[in-house]
Amino acid sequence: MTGTAARAEALIGHGVVATTPVAGGDICTTTRLRLSDGRVAVIKTRPQAPAGFFAREAAGLRWLAEVEGGAKVPELLGADDDCVVLAWVEPGKPTVEAAERFGQALARTHAAGAPTFGADVDGYIGLAPLPNRPLETWPEFYASRRVMPYVRAAVQRRALTAEQAATIERTMSRIHDVAGPAEPPARIHGDLWSGNVVWGTDGDAWLIDPAAHGGHRETDLAMLALFGLPHLQRVLESYDDAAPLADGWRGRVPLHQLHPLLVHAVLFGGTYGARAAAAAKAALEPPAD
């Protein structure tokens, strides 16, 4: 028995009869588990993970799973400081029908709401810290807890020039003008890029690796668009049918993409700093819908 299998058995109380490495993860080691009761699970491990890393993921999965009829998340089987164990979702092909169901389900998840903008504890987006101390309005929260900490970090890492930082700071100084109509806190995934959507063979889309918190629903939708998602237009149309988006939402996509672009600038450098500055500039000059 491998150490990973033994770790899973100790955590979930079921025997592991086979293990298979899962390719694709660059943050955690992921292993598929066949359990003695016939179920299939997956364990994600990372030695010396940041404090609370897997606990935050587990809490986010539980919180998203509370929503009846909401976007699907894998069943949480166990979590500890160095790992998390989930029910396995067998990957399939994205379909238009699944995209439509996903849009409707995501709208229900968002509509379930949150107590405030933020969360009671800080979290992670990938391995990067995610400050969550609540603030009363979304513009304040986004500027203070999402954008400006990463502007400072990106400048320190020379992933953002002083001129690019100034462009983003100008946008943040006017965020109340460009944020759109006020909305209550939504229950959002928080890191909803296409890699965190698994299209299952059951015909549904499943959410993994959340950075869940109370935020703006347009943030999740903008993140889906950042790196592309199959059938994205059908997802958005289905979402809008279920929970109509506020006028001008398309023009606010660059604003909501600003934070993940800054995260990528800090973590990976390259052209992400320039892309973040361009998004900030576009947020000040949104096109008409």
Please give the positions annotated as active site: 191
DSSP string of 68-89?
A: TTS-B-PPEEEEETTEEEEE--
According to DSSP, residue 117 is labeled B
Rounded (10°) CA dihedral 39, 45, 50, 56? -10
**What is the rounded CA–CA span in Å between residue 203 and residue 199?**
7
Residues in CB range of 173: below 8 A, 6 or more apart: none
Question: What is the C-alpha R_g of the chain?
Answer: 19
C-alpha to C-alpha distances, 289 to 35, 87, 142, 247, 253, nearest whole angstrom: 51, 41, 23, 8, 12
Contact 69, 85 (CB under 8 A): no
**Phi (first) and psi of residue 107, to 5 degrees:** -60, -40
H or E segment and range at residue 96: helix 96-111
Say if CB 207 and CB 73 are below 8 A apart.
Answer: yes
